[in-house]
Amino acid sequence: MSGEGPISSRELKFRALAADLRRNITDGTWPVGSKLPTDESLAAESGMSISTVRRAYDELVGAGLVERRQGAGTFVTTRVPPSPQRQIVVGVVVPTTTLYFPRVVRGIEATLGAARARTVLACSDYDLHTENAAIEELITGGVSGLLLVPSLHELADPIARGEELRRLPVPVVLVERRLAAAGPADTMEYVCTNHEAGAYEAVRHLHDLGHSRIGLLLRTDGPTAGAIVSGYEWARTAFGLPAVPRQEDRLAAWTSERADEALRAVRAAKATAVLCFGELEALTFLGATARAGLSVPGDLALVAYDNELGETAPVPLTSVSPPKFQIGQLAARVLLQRLRFGEAFPVHQIRLRPRLVVRASCGGRGGSADTDTPPVL
């Protein structure tokens, strides 16, 4: 109660002993009918005073769990039924419920459902204030932990944002985000795609097909844009490929006119292949090639980043495919283990390598169609 002062050390000892005795009755250490230690022997065993032991026994007598028999001792009269385990409720905050993240959410729900945990989903719409409000509401509502796709890439100080999330009163696992700017000082738990590796594999594949001048079309406002550029440059350096001017813009700028302009720049640079991040931009660029009377992949090979719409494109797009379902699965599993073992569970920082789904747009041999029935981890 608000009017009470701080609990005394003697009160804490009494409560701790009473709780310990109750647990021993609950788990069957002392079955119904068994005789409990005398006040004196329990005091000597526990290191507590006889008055504290008597208070603890009186507590159990008052609860109807034990009875004192004159001249015989204290006996267990009933076993306390174990309290029902509180259901784990996990809050999930994603920036959008379209395209990329539905598969991630399905992976989360599959793992949490198997563990009889409940999912509460919220959408931030890429807005920091909405995100904060959703987090506050979920915590107030009593969630056990959070799986977050937080706003980081457009913040002036993403490391400070990471510190805010780390100080939340429930465990947090980041999904498809990490504090790359913090380097080895990053202590946040995360499960995400290794987008550098995805871009690297796309360029490597095009190089293996014989292309030596490979361009990059890039949406700069995506949170993974920096990793895409890094992976592209790693591959370009590794294979000794010449620099080709990048075509960069924000998502809203990729109109048909901008795609036509990007195509002219790519052709002027004598590029024979292009990696395009992301898939919507690749579809716009594909339209530009059709308007220019160019053949894909005959005149220009194309690899898109992401794998949501590529199979249905006029020329099916070879695509880098992030393991979205498995990302959700693993993130949920890490959080469940964190909730179970607490600080004894080592901090997990997991990056999964995406795979390349080869279709018609790059001219290579196509592989099996991508599916949304990944193996259960």
Instruction: Please list the pLDDT of the chain residue by residue as tens digits (377 residues).
Output: 333 333 345 656 777 788 788 878 876 788 888 899 999 988 888 888 888 888 888 888 888 888 999 888 999 987 665 555 678 999 999 999 888 899 999 999 999 999 999 999 999 999 999 999 999 999 998 999 999 999 888 788 989 999 999 999 999 999 999 998 888 999 999 999 999 999 999 999 999 999 999 999 999 988 899 999 999 999 999 999 999 999 999 988 999 999 999 999 999 999 999 999 989 999 999 999 999 999 999 999 999 999 988 899 999 999 999 999 999 999 999 999 999 898 889 999 999 999 999 999 998 665 444 544 455 55
How high is the pLDDT of residue 25? Answer: 81
Residue 99 dihedral angles phi and psi, to the nearest 5°: 55, -100
Q: Within this chain, do residues 246 and 234 fall inside the same structural domain, yes or no? A: yes
Q: How far apart, in whole angstroms, are the C-alpha atoms of residue 281 and residue 148?
A: 26
Task: Answer whether residue 373 is part of any domain.
Answer: no
205 and 266 co-located in one domain: yes
pLDDT of 249 reads 93
Contact 361, 296 (CB under 8 A): yes
Read off the tokens for 292. Answer: 């220019």
Q: Are residues 161 and 275 in the same domain?
A: no
From 213, 300, 219, 294, select the one nearest 253 (Cα to Cα): 219
Domain that holds residue 155: 89-192+328-341
Q: Provide the 10 A C-beta neighbour count for residue 295.
A: 11
| 166 and 96 inside one domain | yes
Residue type, 96: T
Same-domain pairing of 58 and 167: no
Structural domains counted in the chain: 3
Q: How far apart are CA 345 and CA 311, in angstroms?
A: 41
CA distance 81 to 84: 9
- Residue 136 to residue 134: CA distance in whole angstroms: 5
Cis peptide before 81 (omega within 30 of 0): no
Helix (H, G, I), strand (E, B) or coil at 13: helix
User: Which of 240, 327, 318, 241 minimizes the C-alpha distance to 279?
Assistant: 318
In total, the chain counts a number of residues equal to 377
The residue type found at 144 is S
Whether residue 179 sits in one domain with residue 203: no
- Final residue of a structural domain among 76, 101, 134: 76
169 and 221 housed in the same domain: no
Pair 201, 170 in one domain: no
The CB-based long-range contact list for 57-61 (8 Å cut-off, 24+ gap) reads 57/21, 59/14, 59/18, 60/18, 60/21, 60/22, 60/25
Q: Domain check: are 208 and 317 in the same one? A: yes
Q: Are strands 172-175 and 145-148 parallel, antiparallel or unpaired?
A: parallel
On whether residue 376 sits in a domain, the answer given is no
Amino acid at 55: R
Query: Could you give the 3-state DSSP secondary structure of residue 75?
Result: strand
Residue 84 lies in a domain: no
Point out the domain boundary residue: 46, 76, 106. Answer: 76
Pair 21, 42 in one domain: yes
Please tell me whether residues 207 and 176 are part of one structural domain: no
Residues 162, 185 contacting (CB under 8 angstroms) = no
375 belongs to a structural domain: no
Task: Specify which residues 318 forms β-bridges with.
Answer: 303
CATH number for the domain that contains residue 48: 1.10.10.10
Taking the C-alpha atoms of residue 155 and residue 166, their distance in angstroms, rounded to an integer, is 17
Alpha helix segments (H runs only) across the chain:
9-26, 39-46, 50-62, 101-114, 128-140, 158-166, 195-208, 225-238, 256-268, 279-291, 324-341
Indicate whether 347 belongs to any domain.
Answer: no
Residue 108 lies in a domain: yes
Residue 371: inside a domain, yes or no? no
The alpha carbons of the chain give a radius of gyration, in whole angstroms, of 30
Write the CATH number for 149.
3.40.50.2300
Residue 83: what pLDDT? Answer: 54
Beta partners for 157? none
pTM of the model as a whole? 0.75
Does a structural domain hold residue 242?
yes
pLDDT the model gives residue 71:
86
CA distances from residue 5 to 8, 10, 160 in whole angstroms, order as listed = 9, 14, 37
How far is the first Cα of the chain from the last one, in angstroms, to the nearest whole number? 47
Q: Same domain, yes or no, for 308 and 203?
A: yes
